Amino acid sequence: MSDLEGIHKQVIRAAMSAPYLQREEEHELALRWSEEGDEEALHQLVSSHIRLVIAIASRFRRYGLPISDMIQEGHVGLLEAAARFEPERGVRFSTYVTWWIRAAIQDYVLRNWSIVRGGTSSAQKSLFFNLRRLRAKLAQRMDSTSTMELHRRIAQTIGVSREDVETMEVRLSGSDVSLNVPVPGEEAENASDRQDFLVDRSPLPDEIVAESIDSGRRAHWLQRAMAMLSERERLIIEARRLHDDDLVTLETVGRRLGISKERVRQIENRALDKLKKALQSNRQDMLIAA
């Protein structure tokens, strides 16, 4: 047995042997700690509630994390609660610390259950810890209901989107898998890792460079071609074809220039023909130079 396991068992034995506190005793110890800073009172108060930490931590065993670590996290939550407890409010200390212990253990589970971080909002936490229970409960009530409808009901109950429910169910359906693990079914000598089958959809370095060069070249061609247009033609092309926002209507441009929208359309078509010829000429010049 390792030293850690021995310490763990000692903590459990000490917790189980700690005396229960009556309401009056609990209140008196809490007053001594909050008003006088009596550390002995704090020690008695905390020691008598370690069994509560163990009981709450045991409810999270199904997540496959070391129970000793969860007890330690719960103990941190217990100390945090003791630091914040206000005995004059008349609430039992055990009632108050339960929330802090559970919250500390849940945060630990969320941080360590998977290397992929899940949502940190209260709704996402509730989804993580209640999805399986809610699914089983609703499945009993809803005979022959589709998975999509079941997800919709769960999302409505917890207050998240149906897509969040689907994503969380996929996460909970299996544990993390290393990308460096060989793919099953292949010979050991020629086995490929899982990461070998990941597809990177981003452009290749040569494509990025080519796009950068071509973008600059196209911008230069367009600038030269635009210089061949009249002022009114350039104004219409810039408004109708080179505007960053939505397409400016013919009527809007016509009002701006004091002409009809049909006239704007005619000028635009003529300007586009000029641009096309100028760009084709630039392309031919480039091919001859090459």
Domain boundaries, the chain: 3-112, 122-172, 205-289
Mean pLDDT on 109-116: 74
What's the mean pLDDT in 181-197? 68
Give the per-residue pLDDT at 100.
Answer: 93
3: pLDDT strictly greater than 50: no
The CATH fold of domain 3-112: Four Helix Bundle (Hemerythrin (Met), subunit A) (1.20.120)
Taking the C-alpha atoms of residue 150 and residue 126, their distance in angstroms, rounded to an integer, is 17
Using 50, 70 and 90 to split pLDDT, how confident is the model at 253?
confident
pTM for this entry? 0.51
Report the pLDDT value the prediction gives residue 153, as an integer from 0 to 100.
78
Position 176 confidence tier, pLDDT thresholds 50, 70, 90: low
Query: Does 77 have pLDDT greater than 90?
Result: yes
What are the backbone angles phi and psi of residue 186, rounded to the nearest 5°? Answer: -105, 155
Residue partners of 259: CB distance under 8 A and separation at least 6: none
Q: Which fold has domain 205-289?
A: Arc Repressor Mutant, subunit A (1.10.10)
pLDDT over 80 (residue 125): no
Single-letter residue type at 115: I
